[in-house]
A and B are shown apart, each in its own frame.
Chain A
Amino acid sequence: MATAITQPDAQPIERENYLNKHYGVWSWLLTTDHKRIALLYLMSITFFFFIGGFFALLIRLELLTPTGDLVQADTYNKLFTQHGQVMVFFFLIPSIPAVLGNFLVPMMVGAKDLAFPRINLLSWYLYIIGGIMMLHCMLTGGVDTGWTFYVPFSTAFSNTKVIEAGLAIFVVGFSSILTGLNFIVTIHRMRAPGMTWGRLPLFIWAHYATSVIQILGTPVIAITLVLVVAERALHLGIFDPKLGGDPLLFQHLFWFYSHPAVYIMILPSMGVVTEIIACFSRKRIFGYHFVALSSIAIAVFGFLVWAHHMFVAGISIYAALVFSILSYAVAVPSAVKVFNWTATLYKGSIHYDAPMLYAFGFLGLFTIGGLTGLFLACLGVDMHVHDTYFVIAHFHYIMVGGAVMGYLGGMHFWWPKISGKLYPEGWARLAALIVFIGFNLTFFPQFLLGYMGMPRRYFQYPAEFQVLNVLSTAGATVLGVGYLLPMIYFLWSMRYGKPAPDNPWNAAGLEWKTASPPPTFNFDEEPVVTWEAYNYDELDSEHKQEVPVVG
């Protein structure tokens, strides 16, 4: 067994952990260990992230000039469609839940594994099957309907591979449902003794809320895609106005899932940020119960607002009024979170480590994204900016500035636990800075472009928009570098990084009370919880002698 260890500067005795317990491809492909499945997901979603990023790069390159010189309209339509589909369904939705959530949920509640380990593995295989279908679809012609599959274009007119893309997303949707189901059962049924609901980390509350959306929202898009596929294949008339159908019905069903899906992306990220802010300001979270319940409130309100995507599509103005008011309501629980994070930071002893830099980035960018969302919820303003780059900028501030920032922050925060190695802190801070600058340079100009009236989804534009578009493309390049850096130094650290102590951040939470990397069943003995979450005051007074606080 010892001969299989490939480390050059191997420590004398390596503790047995989930990484070195078994070797070989099959020990990974047939594993039911939630931590290994998390790593399988990590590799898969990273792969799709770079595919989606590649499409984004091509889009930005094309938009460098006002005319279509890199690609023409047909190709451009496929580029933005597949950028959206890959990023939404194959990266953002699984990102934090399937990687960090998979890894951490059982550990944070003090369980040996998720409730249904084999279903967890099945969920990864469904993801892979969906992913292969999507790749096949892209390589054999692609699809050009926009990620939204709007009918009747997708069912009656587009001559691209709508059916295959629809089925790929159908399959990957079930992977998401199974993840959510596993989390809910685990959080309800597998908590360690003493781990009451009021002691759960807010990461868990966030994942609970996310899972509710996954299990109740995802089936609706699944059936919607079934209808689209059936209509396209058999020429039914359910969505076709020519045959008596209503295209708006498609939009209702589609957004019933796809609006809450935004909260599938952002809620876990909020959970990550909560953990990071508490740890690096060494304080209890201000208003624990409000933050916990605001996650649930976001999940519920998220289902009440979907038609704000359809204000100009021809829905009844009375319905538009109702949905506009309801959309404002979502801002309340989101604001509760932002204010509570800010209050937690107040008079905290703040450490500017890389995860915290990402959390700060999240705070600012999410606030901008959220507030511009209110502009869009406002009927009058939406008429003006609907389907412009203003919308693009808004949701990228939420999904990239919010969700991806949180994802990267979480990856840095828990990397020592996941890999057992420390990443290079200097590089990580630099990368956080580059991502923040690159992001704002990419997307802030798009607010201006949108407000000036540049519509989304066109491969060419009037020459007066060029300066801002060049800025945006330049930003995208910087952002790309910012995303490549962590991948490089994470990989580097797996081989050359310093071994991580069990609790490098002196953080609260059960996951830090076990080894880094953890043993296969997470804890050597079943933990019993007798403390509240985020007891940093107690932790710091305990450790005052051992770990001097570095200024």
Chain B
Amino acid sequence: MSDSTVAVQGETHNPALLHHFATEEQQRNASSFGMWIFLGTEVMFFGGLFCAYLIYRGWYFGDFAAASKSINAALGGTNTAVLICSSLTVVLAIWAAQTSRRALMLAMLVLTMLFGLAFLGIKGIEYRDKFVEHHVPGPSFSFEHEEIPSHPGEYANPRHAEIFFALYFIMTGLHALHMVVGLGIFSWLLWAAWKGRFTPEYHTPLEIGGLYWHFVDIVWIYLFPLLYLIDRHR
């Protein structure tokens, strides 16, 4: 509130109300609506990958299952839990802003970011394992003599498994990239919260950033069973 722009605004008290909006409510609705639309484009962005996944999983089910089995599902499950916890801390941060609990809001924002970093750390371990096992698509890729779970004694076709790993790395990689962007957004939110920008009346950026974070969580909720848990029961 210490901004010098307060004086310019005249009767409106909120420096965050932009000139072309009539009311704060209009501005808030526009922002969250815009974010939801953006998330719609994100759905379609990942949608192309899901389409590719669906087709090749149907074609090469056994190879996909063998490749999926080589990923550490426990790490993936842990990461799911980590993201779910981070989603909880996001809503708690917003609730804290709504009820003027500044310390709680800051703590929850920090916690959200820590969960985000933990997710990326675990992801890093997973990637390192794949790298060590030569499961990263490329010249040194190797997936020889890996049994197909549903047909013991038959080996997976390395070329088809490579498609799985290509999709695995692109899908989780783009998801991780979204996490990194989310961490950037939350660093800014933390800074703004520290500066005292958010009040019970005005905390739209927190809500918008939260929407994004939850969406990234939802993507992972689908990625986890689709990539880690193909034909695991054998």
Contact = CB atoms under 8 A, between A and B. Distances in A.
B52 interface: yes
Contacts of A253: 48, 51-52
Contacts of B18: 117
Interface string B8-52: 000000000011111000100110011001101110111111011
Given A185-B37, A235-B138, A220 B20 contact: no
Given A216-B44, A219-B45, A116 B138 contact: no
Interface string A225-237: 0110011001111
A222 B43 CA distance: 12
A190 B30 contact: yes
Nearest to A188: B33
B173 to A, nearest CB: 9
Interface stretch (A22-30, A244-252, A341-349, A355-363): A244-252
Contacts of A150: none
A181 B33 CA distance: 9
B137 interface: yes
A512 B122 CA distance: 59
B26 A189 contact: yes
B160 interface: yes
Interface string B51-85: 11001100010000000000000000000000000
A220 B162 contact: no
Given A185-B30, A243-B159, A244-B163, A249 B52 contact: yes
Given A181-B34, A181-B37, A185-B37, A230 B48 contact: no
B159 to A, nearest CB: 5
B112 interface: no
B104 interface: no
Contact of B34 (A115, A218, A224, A245): A115
Interface residues of B, number: 38
A230 B170 contact: yes
B67 to A, nearest CB: 12
Contacts of B44: 216-217, 219-220
Contact of B157 (A112, A190, A244): A244
B103 interface: no
Nearest to B162: A237
Contacts, number: 114
A177 B19 CA distance: 24
B34 A252 contact: no
Contacts of A223: 45-49
B95 to A, nearest CB: 26
B153 interface: no
Q: Main SS of the interface on chain A?
A: helix
Contacts of B160: 244
Nearest to A106: B20
A226 B34 contact: no
A231 B137 CA distance: 10
B139 interface: yes
A392 interface: no
B19 A112 contact: yes
Most buried by A among B40, B41, B162: B41
A115 B28 CA distance: 11
A26 B20 CA distance: 21
B167 interface: yes
B45 A238 contact: no
A222 B51 CA distance: 14
Given A181-B38, A215-B40, A244-B157, A220 B26 contact: no
B167 A238 contact: yes
A102 to B, nearest CB: 14
A503 to B, nearest CB: 24
Contacts of B163: 236-238, 243-245
Contact of B166 (A117, A215, A224, A237): A237
B155 to A, nearest CB: 15
B106 to A, nearest CB: 27
Contacts of A249: 51-52, 55
Contacts of B38: 181, 215
Contacts of B33: 185, 188-189
A182 B38 CA distance: 10
A123 B29 CA distance: 21
Interface of A: 111-117, 119, 177, 181-182, 184-185, 188-190, 215-220, 222-224, 226-227, 230-231, 234-238, 243-246, 249, 252-253, 256, 521, 526
Given A189-B33, A220-B47, A235-B137, 10 more contacts: A112-B19, A181-B37, A189-B26, A190-B30, A220-B45, A220-B48, A223-B49, A243-B163, A244-B56, A249-B51
24 contacts: A113-B20, A115-B20, A115-B34, A116-B34, A185-B30, A188-B33, A190-B26, A215-B40, A219-B45, A220-B44, A220-B47, A220-B48, A222-B45, A231-B166, A235-B138, A237-B137, A238-B166, A243-B162, A244-B157, A249-B52, A253-B51, A253-B52, A521-B20, A526-B22
The 6 A-B residue pairs whose C-beta atoms are closest, nearest first, are: A219-B45, A223-B48, A112-B20, A113-B20, A236-B166, A219-B44
Interface of B: 18-22, 26, 29-30, 33-34, 37-38, 40-42, 44-49, 51-52, 55-56, 60, 137-139, 157, 159-160, 162-163, 166-167, 170, 174
